[in-house]
Structure 1
Amino acid sequence: MPLLEVNSPARIRQFLDLPARLYQNQPQWISPLDPEIEAVFDPNKNPSFAHGEAIRWVLTNAAGTVIGRVAAFINHEAPQPDPTLAVGGMGFFECEDDQAAANELLEACRQWLAQRGLAAMDGPINFGERDRFWGLLTEGFTEPNYGMFFHQPYYQRLFEQYGFQLYFRQYTCYRAVDTPLHPTFSKAFDKYARQYPDFRFQHANKRNAEQLARDFHHVYNLAWANHSGVSPMSLDKARDLVKQMKPVLDERLLWFAYHHDEPIAFFVSLPELNQMFKHVNPRFGLLSKLHFLWQKRQYQQRRDKKLFGVIFGVVPAWQGQGIESALMVHARAEFMRAGYQEIEMNWIGDFNPRMLAVTRSIGARIYKTHTTYRYLFDRERTFERSPIIR
């Protein structure tokens, strides 16, 4: 079966078009936007190319029909928790239910990475941040949230029969917004309300993009940058994220807690954009952009909206002191006033028991599971799962 490098407009089109055929009979599937996939592989748009490289292929059968696709990549500045194990990545995998075809795609990734001195590969992951295109959907085959792939159920078998092993799971949790919170949340709310203005809780002001970026940058680097596989974020990167979010941002969904003027916690969420993008052509040309704006306006007027929890964090000095509980009380009340009825919280790793406990405490349940696999090139080496955050 010919394996062809994606290095021309025609091959790019084949790479992008394959999922529509594979998922044509699955109404739950929502296509990512083509420009967002292509941005991952554009050195002018993806900063990971400054310290890395990527390649992608399509696989065809004897008749020339594309039956699979995949990408492999290296980011030499990605955190490597184990200095004895250099790990690369593979992702954007799609394939017919054919183990031989899947093996050829995955083996191409292994060989390309091994030739460049890597000793293992994680997948399917993104050539970039963890907040999108990360993990294989293995449970909860419902409509995907924005930035996440829907996968065929048989992909799990293709990965595991090739030899991938479970490295970690990341969960998407669900709750109805109007589900009552435990009384301890109200106690935390009252505790910090009595200490106003030393402590205050407020949603973002999108007109002050610079302050939003600075507050997000501060909490993120203290709360997340010490996690395995997570790099510190520059202020310029935070500014860029705010710029990207601004066209779809609902400021009532971005909440911060402050001690005096220092941000000490955040809960960042967005309207669930796939509820709009699912009505739009994924090529996202001019007419599609206009259609999206119309869909956005229609969605904003609804009273049964869904929001998507992007990231939650508390700086270490304030963890375990009820800040997150008080923040959730404030946020929940505003969500309900704004007409949001459902919330899905994405990307909660099984290596983070503290965050899983927080989601349980607010009455959320695990709704979907994405799995990140690892394949060790030395098949005699002892496999170890992702370390637990203590």
Structure 2
Amino acid sequence: MTLVPADVRITEVRTRAERAAFIDLPFRLYANDTAWIPPLKAEVKALLTPGANPWFEHATAAFLIARRGTLVTGRISAQVDKLVQAMPLEQGGGSEVGHWGMFEAEDAETAAALIAAAEDWLRRRGVSHAMGPFSLSVWDEPGLLIDGFEQSPTVMMGHHLPAYESYITAAGYTGVKDLYCYELSIVEDMPPLIQRIVASGERNARIRVRKVDKSKFAQEAAIILGILNDAWSDNWGYVPLTDAEIAYAGKKLKPVVFEDLIMIAEVEGEPVAFMMTLPDLNELTADLNGRLFPFNFAKLLWRLRKPKVRTMRVPLMGVVKRMQATRLASQLAFMMIEYIRRASVANYGATRSEIGWILEDNQGMRSIADALKTRINKTYRIYERHI
């Protein structure tokens, strides 16, 4: 067991003031990091709050703060998710698996104390295999940034200090899975081969690629989630979303869903693939300093009416399992990518896209990214240790 330095005190968040300190810490630690984007504090508060975040219906968590004297020098979460523990071992699950995340530390001693405290909390709940960071789940911000520190994070992606990698490995952790983000310029036309593939698909009467209909939001969301659950079900780390989580995500995403940025591909009338793209909302919130009220909420709503951004992020894309690794699946993917590329440039002024994250062993998606002449611009790593 790691010994906690005498001058580092670890306590669990119990009060509103302690929760505020937990949320506020990164604002001090990243004050001089020009790539960091302040998160909206109200969003972080909702993430951490049972009753607001339906993740707590199947999971439990502790939020820990480190202090030296009166100064808060670090934070970490420790969590046990019943749905993770129900997943197969080969997919990163198992009855003895627990996670930690929300990790921030001012120095190596604080980091060691936090990780030790999170492990102790997990052990008391029968966990012998710790993995992290997951902040809080694979659907939130998984992984530690280990490459790409010079670029600001896109919406729903994390950003971390370079020292954190050494803090985690010093605690005995090794990497279990890397997650890649790919960037590409979208102002140029696609490579000629891809243009021919798209044109061929457009001549195929069996294929229809359409925009979502926001007036039928619930039905369209059900179609997309049905494809997602099938397409991603064998992926490492995959945990199915509950009905409550789907409703929660839909409520959060609806204001930032733009019909020409989300495509559904049908073959002979059956939806078989989708692609979701979001304007990089971090560009629209970067100057709000984490606060929506009293005036920034109206400012953000105004910006969202007709958002103009440099970057588009593709967080989700999927093809039903029976079609994966087929030429048709690749054709549908390229068609959706091309249609969204055109809309992104013409309607939102975007010049670049970030696709990801993509698992290191997801050869199908990585092949598509390679064909688009992308480059890996950020790498996130998930670590594990038997405790």
For structure 1, which segment, 31-40 or 273-282, has the greater mean C-alpha deviation from structure 2 after superposition?
A: 31-40
Name the residue aligned to 1:50: 57
Residue 76 (structure 2) pairs with residue 66 (structure 1): no
Name the residue aligned to 2:341: 332
Q: What one-letter code is carried by the residue in structure 2 that aligns with 1:323? A: L
Instruction: Report the 3-state secondary structure (helix = DSSP H, G, I; strand = E; otherwise coil) of the residue aligned with 2:27.
Output: helix
Choose from 289, 294, 316 the match for 2:321.
316
Matches within 5 A, 1:154-193: 154-193=163-202
Choose from 15, 22, 27 the match for 1:20.
27
Offset of residue 235 of structure 1: 5.7
Q: What one-letter code is carried by the residue in structure 1 that aligns with 2:110? A: A
Q: In structure 1, how many angstroms separate the alpha carbons of the residues matched to 2:81 and 2:344?
A: 38
Q: What one-letter code is carried by the residue in structure 2 that aligns with 1:67? A: T
Q: In structure 1, how many angstroms separate the alpha carbons of the residues matched to 2:63 and 2:218?
A: 37
Contact 1:254 1:269 in 2 (8 A): yes
Matches within 5 A, 1:73-84: 73-78=79-84, 79-82=86-89
Contact 1:92 1:125 in 2 (8 A): yes
Q: What one-letter code is carried by the residue in structure 2 that aligns with 1:134? A: P
Q: In structure 2, how many angstroms separate the alpha carbons of the residues matched to 1:94 and 1:136?
A: 11
Offset of residue 239 of structure 1: 4.4
Q: What one-letter code is carried by the residue in structure 2 that aligns with 1:74? A: V
Q: In structure 2, how many angstroms separate the alpha carbons of the residues matched to 1:21 and 1:238?
A: 33
Q: In structure 2, how many angstroms separate the alpha carbons of the residues matched to 1:84 and 1:291?
A: 45
Choose from 220, 225, 235 the match for 2:233.
225
Offset of residue 120 of structure 1: 1.2
Offset of residue 237 of structure 1: 4.2
Residue 275 (structure 2) pairs with residue 275 (structure 1): no
Contact 1:217 1:234 in 2 (8 A): no
Contact 2:186 2:353 in 1 (8 A): yes
Instruction: Report the 3-state secondary structure (helix = DSSP H, G, I; strand = E; otherwise coil) of the residue aligned with 1:373.
Output: strand
Q: In structure 2, how many angstroms separate the alpha carbons of the residues matched to 1:340 and 1:366?
A: 19
Q: In structure 2, how many angstroms separate the alpha carbons of the residues matched to 1:119 and 1:227?
A: 23
Runs of 5+ consecutive residues of structure 2 not aligned to the other structure: 1-7
Q: What one-letter code is carried by the residue in structure 1 that aligns with 2:298? A: L
Instruction: Report the 3-state secondary structure (helix = DSSP H, G, I; strand = E; otherwise coil) of the residue aligned with 2:51.
Output: coil
Choose from 115, 118, 127 the match for 1:109.
118
Instruction: Report the 3-state secondary structure (helix = DSSP H, G, I; strand = E; otherwise coil) of the residue aligned with 2:66.
Output: strand
**Which structure 1 residue ranges, 4+ long, deviate > 6 Å from structure 2?**
none
Q: 1:238 to 1:53 in 2, by over 3 A?
A: closer
Residue 213 (structure 2) pairs with residue 208 (structure 1): no
Q: 1:345 to 1:84 in 2, by over 3 A?
A: closer
- Equivalent pairs counted in the alignment come to 370
For structure 1, which segment, 76-85 or 44-53, has the greater mean C-alpha deviation from structure 2 after superposition?
A: 76-85
With normalisation by structure 1, the TM-score equals 0.90
Q: In structure 2, how many angstroms separate the alpha carbons of the residues matched to 1:238 and 1:17?
A: 28
Name the residue aligned to 1:381: none
Q: What one-letter code is carried by the residue in structure 2 that aligns with 1:288? A: N
Q: In structure 2, how many angstroms separate the alpha carbons of the residues matched to 1:158 and 1:233?
A: 32
Choose from 252, 262, 265 the match for 1:254.
262
Q: In structure 2, how many angstroms separate the alpha carbons of the residues matched to 1:333 and 1:290?
A: 29
Q: What one-letter code is carried by the residue in structure 1 that aligns with 2:34? A: P
Residue 139 (structure 2) pairs with residue 131 (structure 1): yes
Q: 1:370 to 1:109 in 2, by over 3 A?
A: same
Q: In structure 1, how many angstroms separate the alpha carbons of the residues matched to 2:25 and 2:177?
A: 28
Q: In structure 1, how many angstroms separate the alpha carbons of the residues matched to 2:250 and 2:57?
A: 21
Q: What one-letter code is carried by the residue in structure 1 that aligns with 2:292? A: F
Contact 1:32 1:149 in 2 (8 A): no
Runs of 5+ consecutive residues of structure 1 not aligned to the other structure: 378-390
The percent of aligned pairs where both chains have the same amino acid is 28
Q: 1:235 to 1:117 in 2, by over 3 A?
A: closer
Offset of residue 156 of structure 1: 0.6
Contact 1:221 1:232 in 2 (8 A): yes
Residue 12 (structure 2) pairs with residue 5 (structure 1): yes
